[in-house]
Amino acid sequence: MLLAIAATKNWHLKQLDVNNAFLHRDLNEEVYLLPPLGIKVKTGQVCKLVKSLYGLKQARRQCFTILLVYVDDIILAGKSISDIEQVTRHLDKVFKVKDLGDLKFFLGLEIARSNKGIHVSQRKYALNIIYEVGLLAAKPCATPMKKDTKNMFLKGISIKDVTAYQRLIGRLLYLTNTMPDISYCVQFLSQFLQAPTSEHHNAEHRVLRYIKGTPGQGLFFSDNSDLQLKGFCDSDWASCPQTRRSTTGFCVFEGSSLISWKSKK
CA atoms of 264 and 106, how far apart (whole Å): 27
User: Over pLDDT 70: what percentage of the chain?
Assistant: 92
Tell me how far apart the alpha carbons of residues 204 and 156 are, in angstroms, rounded to a whole number.
Answer: 15
Residue of 39 and 188 predicted with greater confidence: 188
The yes-or-no verdict on residue 59 having pLDDT over 60 is no
Residue 61's pLDDT is what? 58
Give the residues across from 13 on adjacent strands.
Answer: 77
Q: What is the pLDDT of residue 57?
A: 65
Residue 20 C-beta-side C-alpha neighbours within 13 Å: 6
- Spatial neighbors of 187 by CB under 8 A, at least 6 apart, are 247, 263, 264, 265
**Angle 222-88-103 (CA atoms, 0-180°, nearest 5)?**
30
Structural domain spans, the chain: 2-107, 144-264
Residue 41: pLDDT band (50, 70, 90) is confident
Label residue 202 left, alpha or beta by phi (over 0 means left) and psi (-120 to 50 means alpha).
alpha
Backbone angles phi, psi at 142, to 5 degrees: -80, -25
**What pLDDT does 261 receive?**
94
State pTM to two decimals. Answer: 0.80
Q: Is the pLDDT of residue 240 over 90?
A: no
pLDDT digits (tens, 9 = 90+) for 75-93: 999 999 999 999 999 989 8
Quick check: 178 and 219 in contact, CB under 8 A? yes
